[in-house]
Amino acid sequence: MVKSKSNSITIKTVNYIANLARIELKEKELKIFVKQLKKIIDYINKLKELDVSDIPPSSHILKLKNVLREDNLKESLPIKEVLKNAPEKKENFFVVPKIIE
């Protein structure tokens, strides 16, 4: 059986975490988060008690497969057709504002 470490969660601990996250919590909020974090740690400790030695590692609980279609080559649009509505063009290229200096 795993010893519960939720008792080590105090207002001081939550305040420290809030400081790291750059958030300001009121006293009432600190007390709420202490209770919530204790519940979370107790739940994690409960999960640690499960025997998962027969369960293979996986990246997802469901077997996923990408559904891809075959690439089919097709004729491209003529360059004049592509550029006919371009607000600005130079030779066979679109002219766009520079965004990286």
Question: 22 lies in a domain?
Answer: yes
Q: What is the CATH number of the domain that holds 14?
A: 1.10.20.60
Question: 94 lies in a domain?
Answer: no
Question: 15 lies in a domain?
Answer: yes
- Integer angstrom CA distances of residue 75 from 72, 79, 94: 10, 12, 20
Q: What is the pLDDT of residues 1-25, one digit of tens each?
A: 445 566 689 999 999 999 999 999 9
3-state secondary structure 16-78: HHHHHCCCCCCHHHHHHHHHHHHHHHHHHHHHHCCCCCCCCCCCCCCCCCCCCCCCCCCCCCC
Domain span including residue 25? 6-48
> Structural domain tally of the chain?
1
Question: 24 lies in a domain?
Answer: yes
User: Residue 70 is encoded by which pair of tokens?
Assistant: 């075959």
pTM above 0.85, yes or no: no
Question: 14 lies in a domain?
Answer: yes
Q: What is the pLDDT of residues 28-85, one digit of tens each?
A: 999 999 999 999 999 999 999 999 899 888 888 788 788 888 889 999 999 999 999 9
